[in-house]
Amino acid sequence: MADAIIDKASSGTQEPVSSSAMRRQMLKEFWFYFSENRGAVIGLFVFLLLVLVAVFAPLIAPHSPFEQYRDAVLVPPIWTEDGRAGYLLGTDPVGRDILSRLIYGAQYSLFIGVFVTTLSLTGGILVGLIAGYYRGWIDTVIMRLMDIILAFPSLLLALVLVAILGPSLTNGMIAIALTLQPHFVRLTRAAVMAEKTRDYVTAARLAGAGPLRLMFRTILPNCTAPLIVQATLSFSNAILDAAALGFLGMGAQPPAPEWGTMLAEAREFILRAWWVVTFPGLAILITVLAINLMGDGLRDALDPKLKRS
Amino acid sequence: MNDTLTDNTMLEVRDIKRDYELPGSLFKPKKIIHAVKGVSFKLERGKTLAIVGESGCGKSTLARMLTFIDEPTSGDLLIDGQKVDTRPGHLTQEMRQKVQIVFQNPYGSLNPRQKIGDVLGEPLAINTSMPAGERRDRATEMLKKVGLGPEHYNRYPHMFSGGQRQRIAIARALMMNPKLLVLDEPVSALDLSVQAQVLNLLADLQDEFGLTYVFISHDLSVVRYIADEVMVMYFGEAVEYGTRDEVFSDPKHEYTRTLFAATPRADIESIRARIAKKKAATAA
């Protein structure tokens, strides 16, 4: 990889290298490091599959997620003795098709992941940049506040917040975003503090760059690698926490086909009908695992310490 | 220095001092470290002053004060005949543009996420309302001046060697047409052949733009090559100050003599003498 770059550089054509060619080159390099990690590639494909399923849910799902088939209550999966054609993964206690509900549930999970991650990422970056750039008492106040948030078990804090705001999916997501934010603040602050002492920041300041430009244009782009990794990991954390909130009845409210809520609704049938809890549980497990594997691969590909520069 | 030449003085430093405060704790009283203890000098337009000294003698602190990165604790700084108000927030943009710095380590002084073209265009983008096309032309022109080509415009810093990076750093420093360039050991991180190239480039640019250099170094052979005047610093004080020939031929201060004696010599005579001495020592 490195040799290829040098070759390109020394061939010395008189034309400036175009930006798109440069971007392609960087993307190729990224993929080279990412594909070294097989688990990460598998995770990426599972995740892409999940995105496709969520986007095309109305086309894929065999039934409506809310339609209750009164003649087909608690039908086991199709491959068991009592399975019935048309209900691939069986039905739940009120006769809704589990597969369809799982497919629509993917929409919820991905939306929760995206929303929570964006919220906590932007908030965390802003607060962390300010803390790391200005230091002093601002830094102390912010970091002690984050320490307080971190001292609570995240689910408990989310529960308290939902109890105050009222149980709904939106409030649950806001609560989860708040509990995940300190991780971003700490990461950003640490990265900013390390980058701030480098000569190129001083050089930009000498060129006349103001604090805003220094923070967002000079320092922030050099802190993205750990943030991207943390973002993927908190994406899966958000899904997991939202499912837990749903299970406790504080997140998405029935009849929404959210995976955690589905688990909660099926709680009393765990012993009689194994499929009503197994499949939502598996869906959560596979999604979270795939995203975590992907995050590992991203870390390998983006961590400058592992890169031969 | 001759006092009649004041209008030709680019830089004048009067009794500049810098103290660092080490905060005390419960059991330890507050400690003040005098990094630079009252240094004064004058530098004429188009000349090069070399500041020599061992690590930690305050030469980099002096460079940081000259480029307004650090604020002097006391003392005056006159650039181009004007007194500079170095308090943070009081520095005028015009004054800032007159002085630029080239750092020692070319691997840390370029933003790894910024293309070379943007590195060079940034000072113009911040300080002027020049359109993007013109900025690009100016940057390309400057790239050619420092011995690189227009094909390097869109590349990232990691695609360059140390010597090339230092050329880019020099180009960036020259973008705003400064009058005074502070070079903080600009060649000590480069290997010898590249050192010579960069030093020659610096000499050419000095002639072309009429630049005044403050050249910080601990390499005496480099200093002898590039300097007009030499100042030797020792524990925050200027112990020796004069023209290059004065200082090199007749060092006044004890430390300067030690410094010159510590320079490795590679001419045949001195090698022979050293071997003879060694033989004598083993024979005895």
Query: Each residue of A276-298: pLDDT tens digit?
Result: 889 999 999 999 999 999 988 88
Q: What residue type is assigned to position B238 of the chain? A: A
Helices B162-174 and B192-209: angle between axes, nearest 10 degrees? 20
Q: Which residues 211-230 of chain B have a CB within 8 Å of chain A?
A: none
Task: Tell me the percentage of chain A whose pLDDT exceeds 70.
Answer: 92
Mean pLDDT over residues A81-97, rounded?
85
Local confidence band at A15 (pLDDT 50, 70, 90 cut-offs):
low
pLDDT for the residue A16: 55
Residue-wise pLDDT for B32-50, tens only, equals: 888 888 888 888 888 899 9
Residue B8 within any structural domain of the chain: no
Q: Which residues 3-62 of chain B have a CB within 8 Å of chain A?
A: none
Q: Are A22 and B150 an interchain contact pair (Cβ–Cβ within 8 Å)?
A: no
CA B75 – CA B98 distance, rounded (Å): 20
- B68: nearest CA partner in chain A: A206
Residue-wise pLDDT for B70-124, tens only, equals: 888 888 888 888 888 777 777 777 888 888 899 988 888 888 888 888 889 888 8
CA A298 – CA A80 distance, rounded (Å): 40
Mean pLDDT over residues A85-103, rounded?
88
Higher pLDDT, A182 or A252: A182
Local confidence band at A104 (pLDDT 50, 70, 90 cut-offs):
very high
Residue A168 has pLDDT above 80, yes or no: yes
Residue B37 within any structural domain of the chain: no
Higher pLDDT, A303 or A85: A85
Structure tokens at B239: 């112990």
Contact assessment for residue B180 and residue B212, using Cβ atoms and an 8 Å cutoff: yes
| CATH (domain of B157) | 3.40.50.300
Residue B10 within any structural domain of the chain: no
Cα A143 off chain centre by: 24
Residue A59 has pLDDT above 70, yes or no: yes
Strand duo B99-102 + B237-243: pairing: unpaired
ipTM over 0.95: no
Q: Is A207 on the interface with B (CB under 8 A)?
A: yes
Q: Is B131 on the interface with A (CB under 8 A)?
A: no
Closest CA relative to residue B138, chosen from B121, B156, B163? B121
A199-208 exposure pattern, b = at least 16 Cβ within 10 A, e = fewer: bbbbbbbbbb
Name the DSSP class of B180.
Answer: E
Query: What size, in residues, is chain B?
Result: 284
Local confidence band at A303 (pLDDT 50, 70, 90 cut-offs):
low
Local confidence band at B6 (pLDDT 50, 70, 90 cut-offs):
low
Which residues of chain B make contact with A135, given a CB cutoff of 8 A?
Answer: none
Local confidence band at B252 (pLDDT 50, 70, 90 cut-offs):
confident
SS3 B43: strand
Q: Are A209 and B67 an interchain contact pair (Cβ–Cβ within 8 Å)?
A: no
Residue with tokens 């990165």: B69
The class level of CATH for A2-7+16-189+220-302 reads mainly alpha
Residue A174 has pLDDT above 50, yes or no: yes
Higher pLDDT, A174 or A7: A174
Domain of B233 in residue numbering reads as 45-72+82-283
Residue A6 has pLDDT above 70, yes or no: no
Mean pLDDT over residues A110-139, rounded?
93
Higher pLDDT, A56 or B94: A56
Higher pLDDT, B218 or A183: A183
Residue A2 has pLDDT above 60, yes or no: no
Residue A307 has pLDDT above 70, yes or no: no
Residue-wise pLDDT for B200-225, tens only, equals: 999 999 998 889 999 998 888 888 88
Structural domains counted in chain B: 1
CB nearest to A206's CB, from B101, B152, B153: B101
Local confidence band at A144 (pLDDT 50, 70, 90 cut-offs):
very high
Does this model's pTM top 0.95? My answer is: no
Q: Are A209 and B158 an interchain contact pair (Cβ–Cβ within 8 Å)?
A: no
How far is the CA of A65 from the CAs of A54, A284, A309, in angstroms? 13, 18, 51
CB nearest to B154's CB, from A5, A12, A16: A16
Residue B283 has pLDDT above 70, yes or no: yes
Which residues of chain A make contact with B117, given a CB cutoff of 8 A?
Answer: 16
* Exposed/middle/buried for residue B34 (C-beta within 10 Å: 0-12, 13-18, 19+): middle
pLDDT for the residue A10: 44
pLDDT for the residue B3: 46
Residue with tokens 């971007």: A23
Q: Are A16 and B150 an interchain contact pair (Cβ–Cβ within 8 Å)?
A: yes
Q: Are A213 and B109 an interchain contact pair (Cβ–Cβ within 8 Å)?
A: no
Local confidence band at A1 (pLDDT 50, 70, 90 cut-offs):
very low
Query: Which residues are B18's β-sheet partners?
Result: B36
Which residues fall within 8 angstroms of residue A5, CB to CB, at 6 or more apart?
Answer: A25, B159
Q: Are B111 and A22 an interchain contact pair (Cβ–Cβ within 8 Å)?
A: no
Local confidence band at A14 (pLDDT 50, 70, 90 cut-offs):
very low
